[in-house]
Copies of this chain bind each other. A is one copy, B any other.
């Protein structure tokens, strides 16, 4: 059996409660006994038992992570590694631990969350996605369990602390950039329309067109998976239009890579025949031939802020609801050119 607080107490000739106070560095303990107790702890190589502490204090110092249920897709996207990196740093800096839940189906995920929450495994939760009509978000809200979402909640935006980019503006800027190059037949290839990030970017795209008096052509708007395959299928569909677009706004680099692959196979030249702007600025964007102009959304920071804000919320019972916007930047590379039909 491991060394417990009692062993330390015995060695230091104090009560267990005193040892506990020393651990918490209570000001009501004399410096004298503090050092005596600390010496005993060192001598015995004492390490507090987190489980016992959690039970007594009703707090685990663990943050739960909820991945989207179709995590197979999610794992393949570099977005995953990058948020995790930010999250990991964020919790670590605050002396919390990170625990993951996946789940093949939505029900599966839901059960995982309930276990974490009702099982008292975690003090707070971070949702790594935001979609419409999400049962998990509904559950957490109803239970008033502390959580923050990465992305924009579909409902109750002003009731739920979240960390997001201004995806509307980002898409608008990207589209404006394309329009500035003379394009007016601009396609939109987005992820699942049940994700709020897709909706925001779609709206930004539409607004940019509207502001420039370009008709919105619903045939130019396609949704797919945040995967290469998603991009491949989408661009094929767009090329079947009677008048195919001369530029594409693609909401994810991995999809954009699929788009590039397909266009290259069809011997359609980028950027002379088709221009592309994508999102996320993963390594893929840089590696692509040609390198992709992409919007950097600072994924790591998204994770870091989510973690630190959740923890702050945990410490401060009545922390106000917050909306943290992480800045984005358009990184111009070589996937855009002036419109071929402009003279």
A residues bordering B, Cβ < 8 Å? Answer: 2, 47-52, 54-55, 60, 62, 71-72, 75-76, 78, 80-82, 84-85, 88-89, 92, 97-103, 114-116, 118-121, 228, 257, 261, 283-284, 287-289
Of the candidates B49, B116, B283, B287, which one forms a contact with A76 in the assembled complex, judged by CB atoms under 8 Å apart? B283
Measured in the bound complex, the distance between the Cα atoms of B24 and A175 in whole Å is 58
Write out the residue numbers on chain B whose beta carbons fall within 8 Å of the beta carbon of A47.
114-115, 118-119
What separation, in Å, do the CA atoms of A257 and B286 have in the docked complex?
Answer: 11
21 A-B pairs (CB sep. < 8 Å): A47-B114, A51-B120, A52-B120, A55-B55, A71-B88, A75-B81, A75-B82, A75-B84, A75-B85, A76-B283, A78-B81, A84-B100, A92-B103, A97-B99, A97-B100, A97-B116, A97-B121, A98-B99, A228-B283, A257-B287, A284-B287
A48 touches B119 (CB 8 A): yes
The A interface, classified by DSSP as helix, strand, loop or mixed, is: helix
Whole-angstrom distance from the CB of A51 to the nearest CB of chain B?
5
> Which residues does chain B contribute within 8 Å of A51, judged by CB atoms?
51, 54-55, 60, 119-121
Contact A118 B2 (CB under 8 A): yes
With A55-B55, A99-B98 as known contacts, state yes or no: A121 contacts B50, CB within 8 Å.
yes
* Alpha-carbon distance A88/B82, docked complex (angstroms): 17
